[in-house]
Chains A and B, each alone.
Chain A
Amino acid sequence: MSSNSQKKGFGATIWDYLTTVDHKKIAILYLISGGFFFLVGGVEAMMIRIQLMKAGNDFLSAGTYNEVLTMHGTTMIFLAAMPILLAFMNAVSPLQIGARDVAFPFLNSLGFWLFFFGGIFLNLSWFLGGAPDAGWTNYASLALASEGHGIDFYSLGLTISGFGTLIAGINFLVTIINMRAPGMTYMRMPLFTWTTFVASALILLAFPPLTVGIFFMVFDRLFGANFFDVTMGGNTIIWEHFFWIFGHPEVYILILPAFGIFSEIFAIFSRKRLFGYTALVFATILIGFYGFMVWAHHMFTVGLGPTANAVFALATMIIAVPTGIKIFNWLLTIWGGNISFTVPMIYAVAFIPSFVAGGVTGVMQAIAPLDYQLHDSYFIVAHFHYVIVGGVVLAILAGTHLYWPKMFGTMLSEKLGKWTFWFFFIGFHLTFFIQHFLGLMGMPRRVYTFGADQGWDLFNAISSAGALLMAIGILILLVNVVMTVMKGERVGNDPWGDGRTLEWAIPSPPPFYNFAQTPLVRGLDPYWIEKMEGNKEGMVYAEPLGDIHMPNGSFIPFVISLGMFIAAFGAMYHTDGHAWALPVLIGGLAITFGSMLVRSLKDDLGFHVTKEELIADNERIQREARALEGGKKGGLK
């Protein structure tokens, strides 16, 4: 069984992806579905900006606007940003540590399908009586008061996709702890792997509070519990704590992998080792650690009292220190380097001023008394978009260009990439910079309209115009993707020419077993070391060529997730008194637990790739590489 690109029928390819446990294919699944949800969230963003482009606009009704803003936030955070980052983690981290796959390939697949079905479930709310409308923060008093099933779609959908994310996090922790190649010590791990590691730890610790909070919400709304019902002795502030104990680390779950991607880019395209690697690693760990101690800065106006506010204000300020360390180390990485302004590097370079702007407004909001003015105004909207778009989304766009050749074996157009960049970057600053001032001028967030007498017309119009530019940039990216896929020009191992880490030492895309022989890591940036020493073969190996044990694909993860998807409908409609609801709930759970049982009882021992197959495969790879060399010189130049 050699999965290497024999021509397959369409149906066979679909079946392959439905059953795959290969981290590289799961990465592609994450990228496609995350990208799809990113477009959905983007359309929602455009609807918001159309509605707010002038005073008293009636493009969206009040209730619909609240649904759109809720789904924009929820979709972008849970269904777009995280999955796309998980796509890069899947595609790259195992390669960077020289592993043949993640520790639990089956769970990797299960994690994806849970996320996927959770996301679909959440978005089906648009067609089944209305989307959630209490904001992505879903504050309890409003959520309990919300009519219809919108909030139930939110809580059940996020429960399902949250399981998926938690599984993914655990998987990466185990993978990175256990599956590093010989010589790949912790302090030789590439920074993207480090940030994946820390972000996974944050997922492990941050998602349970969210799950607990959402469970309470589900029980309050569907099964008559009173955790948050004030009239029955419940307390809604508890929800805010649960949500933000999750929510703040969530921000770092997003931004740390983004930092990781940029760290890789700065080193590759400056042709220089990361300046202060150790400091960068410890800053990452510190940010992850502090991330759990600052959640109440989202709640300064709740009335927790001056002591709590002062403590959380100071704790929040401390985070600026490791973040500053990172910024300065990146600057010193490019300082004295040999900077090549490829598309990923342009994004990385643009990220620094954008993120610094978002960071300094973060410190301003850490000043609790000042935050009483800034909180829940457009200032905070501007701030978190500077951090999330200026940090995470720029990283996603950069990562898409950087890792596209490794994931697909082709190169996105640099020219179109630069067009995307300029539209997106200018549009981004135009949209959000002005919003700081809207907030200072008294505009609250989450308002579906504003009066002409408030003095906010001009800035809102500018902001909406910026959003249009961002949309154009993304459309150009789509054109770029389509054109690149159509052309299908293959590239070699190291298409950027200056790859430093292990993933660039193997073909693009890598064979399904990744490394025919596990490489021996002799320092930070192992592939760079070999290149500098003139190693023609690429790497030094830690083992002789021999049989490789690989896992079989499985359809069970899909079925487990499908069962939960079905059960969620049963749970939700059960409250409406439909007779079919309870059987659907039980049936769905039966599918889930039944397929788990099948998985437990049926031995699946995987298969071996034999030495002979590896040799044959290697010859084919060599042949293709030579053909590529002959066809044209290198990838980039």
Chain B
Amino acid sequence: MMKGPKKWRLFALMTALLVFLSGCGREEISTLIPAGKVAQDQFNLLILSSIVMLFVIVVVTIIYVLAIVKFRRSKVGEDMIPEQVEGSARLEFIWTAIPIVLLLILAVPTVYSTFDLADVTAMDAQNEDGVAENLTVNVTGKLYWWEFEYPEQEIRTAQELVVPTGERVYFNLIAADVKHSFWIPSVGGKLDVNPENVNTFYLEFDKESSELEEGVYFGKCAELCGPSHALMDFKVKTLNREDFDAWVAAMQEEQAAPTETLAQDGQEIFEQSCIACHATNAAGAATGVGPNLATFGDRTTIAGFMEHDEETLKNWIADPQQYKPGNLMPNPEEINNGEAFSDQELDALAAYLMSLKVEE
């Protein structure tokens, strides 16, 4: 059994090497590449606790390796009867006291940070004109998509959260059906989206997402919510304050009608079959049964996780259950007088939806 500990060490080394080689994951989603104050605080706690724990592991490993090397039977002799030691009060004291000290080192920042990250007192702060000083977004988790309402700005969108950089953004979270959990790993830890109460927290976004390879941060649902839980993704677009204000202004305007004939045909079909659930106007609309599509042409994904192109869009409309099992979007037959959409109808719908943009 001589190989035991050696193999173990080799294995650990190899694993460590592998982790090192493949880096820390993608900037869009990894908690190891924090892109905001909250994620940074949590990352610091991760590093601090890892160091403390590494110390514990090293101490245990040293005693452990020495013990199994020094006191193996082949070394101490077949018939050796060891002294039957009862214990040692001094040692017990040492290994009770030292862990307590280590835990205190962790406890102080834990308590501080717990209260700090939950501090939403500034959420309702208003300036002299009665305008809110901070941006608040109301998030509603639905099977399997996300709605984002900006109450102060009176606009709403879905699937792609747009936020300004360099300031605190406050979130109110609630679920419309079953429990979800709202998580943007690279920006901050998750908070559950409960059906019975509004949860509140804040996040800060440091970096404009246009600098990222994908152009957006990845958001996730982190609580099992049904068959398509894995597909309940959303994206986060971060803009500097100026661009954000421009975006808000564009959202508040009445959307222009499409100019192309194909898109106009699409609008006609949309207004017969789809408009009952999907709004195409971002301003002031009431909460939707389906995602608000006012910014559909600006988005980077379809249904939160698929390639953003017309082909995918047409496939999705023609058979939503195939791509996102258990979602609540009806099949074409249910909304189009019992018939599937023809290829022309799908082309028209896709052209129309892709024309829905607020950004230039």
Contacts and interface: CB of A to CB of B under 8 A. Distances in A.
B178 interface: yes
Contact of B30 (A301, A317, A440): A440
Contact of A139 (B63, B83, B179, B230): B179
A440 B191 contact: no
Nearest to A451: B305
B148 to A, nearest CB: 19
Interface in B41-85: 41-42, 45-46, 49-50, 53, 56-57, 60-61, 63-64, 66-68, 71-73, 76-77, 80-85
A447 B29 CA distance: 15
A341 interface: yes
A370 B46 contact: yes
A135 interface: yes
A373 B84 contact: no
B189 interface: yes
Given A139-B223, A142-B178, A458-B22, A363 B114 contact: no
A63 B177 CA distance: 18
B156 to A, nearest CB: 23
Interface string A280-314: 00000000000000000000011101100110011
A373 B49 contact: no
A321 B197 contact: no
B192 interface: yes
B325 A63 contact: yes
B177 A336 contact: no
A305 B190 contact: no
A360 interface: yes
Contacts of A188: none
Contacts of A447: 229-230
Choose among A135, A301, A370, A532 the residue with the greatest number of B CB atoms under 10 Å from its CB: A370
Choose among B32, B64, B67, B117 the residue with the greatest number of A CB atoms under 10 Å from its CB: B67
B256 interface: no
Interface string A200-222: 00000000000000000000000
B359 interface: no
Interface string B81-108: 1111111100110011001100100110
Interface string B314-344: 0000000000011000000000000000000
A352 B68 CA distance: 12
Interface in B171-208: 175, 177-179, 181, 183, 185-186, 188-192, 194-197, 199-200
Contacts of B32: 440-441
A181 interface: no
A63 B194 CA distance: 22
B221 interface: yes
A454 B29 contact: yes
Nearest to A139: B179
A363 B106 contact: yes
Interface string B112-124: 0111111000000
Contacts of A277: 86-87
Contacts of A66: 224, 226-227, 229
B43 to A, nearest CB: 8
B82 A303 contact: no
B222 A376 contact: yes
Nearest to B8: A353
B228 interface: yes
Interface in A248-292: 270-273, 275-279
A237 to B, nearest CB: 7
B131 interface: no
A61 interface: yes
A275 B67 contact: no
Interface string A412-453: 000000000000001001100110010011101111111101
A373 B25 CA distance: 15
B227 A236 contact: no
Nearest to A313: B110
Interface stretch (A326-334, A583-591, A604-612, A618-626): A326-334
A462 B199 CA distance: 37
A324 B99 contact: yes
B95 A324 contact: yes
Nearest to A426: B11
Nearest to A321: B99
Contacts of A462: 18
B39 interface: yes
B15 to A, nearest CB: 6
Nearest to B117: A369
Contacts of B106: 317, 363, 367
A372 B178 contact: no
A372 B34 CA distance: 14
Interface string A115-157: 0000000000000000001110001011001000000000000
Given A367-B106, A370-B42, A442-B30, A272 B95 contact: no
A360 B56 contact: yes
Given A301-B190, A325-B95, A363-B49, A369 B113 contact: yes
A171 B135 CA distance: 60
Contacts, number: 308
B24 interface: yes
Contact of A338 (B46, B73, B96, B113): B73
B170 interface: no
B191 A301 contact: yes
Contacts of A445: 222
Contact of A373 (B86, B114, B189, B226): B189
B38 to A, nearest CB: 8
Contacts of A142: 178-179, 224-226
Contact of A339 (B72, B87, B326): B72
A331 B60 contact: yes
B19 interface: yes
B152 interface: no
Contacts of A373: 31, 39, 42, 46, 185, 188-190
A420 B228 CA distance: 37
A145 B199 contact: no
A62 interface: yes
A496 to B, nearest CB: 13
B230 A301 contact: no
Contacts of A455: 25-26, 29-30
A272 B200 CA distance: 56
A535 interface: no
Choose among A236, A373, A446 the residue with the greatest number of B CB atoms under 10 Å from its CB: A373
Choose among A135, A271, A338, A449 the residue with the greatest number of B CB atoms under 10 Å from its CB: A338
Given A279-B87, A336-B83, A369-B189, A446 B224 contact: yes
B44 to A, nearest CB: 9
Contact of A301 (B185, B189, B196, B305): B189
B29 A442 contact: yes
Choose among A279, A429, A532 the residue with the greatest number of B CB atoms under 10 Å from its CB: A279
Interface string B349-360: 000000000000
Given A134-B224, A353-B61, A370-B42, A313 B81 contact: no
B49 A357 contact: no
A346 B4 contact: yes
Contact of B53 (A61, A364, A375): A364
A318 interface: yes
Interface in A354-399: 356-357, 360-361, 363-364, 366-373, 375-377
B218 interface: yes
A545 B243 CA distance: 94
Choose among A134, A306, A430 the residue with the greatest number of B CB atoms under 10 Å from its CB: A306
B214 interface: yes
A16 B46 CA distance: 57
A141 B195 contact: yes
Q: Which 4 residue pairs of A and B lie closest in terms of their CB atoms, listed nearest first?
A: A372-B189, A441-B25, A447-B230, A442-B185
11 contacts: A236-B196, A272-B83, A276-B86, A276-B87, A364-B50, A369-B113, A375-B190, A377-B185, A429-B15, A441-B185, A456-B25
Given A303-B192, A442-B185, A446-B230, 4 more contacts: A62-B231, A145-B178, A301-B222, A332-B85
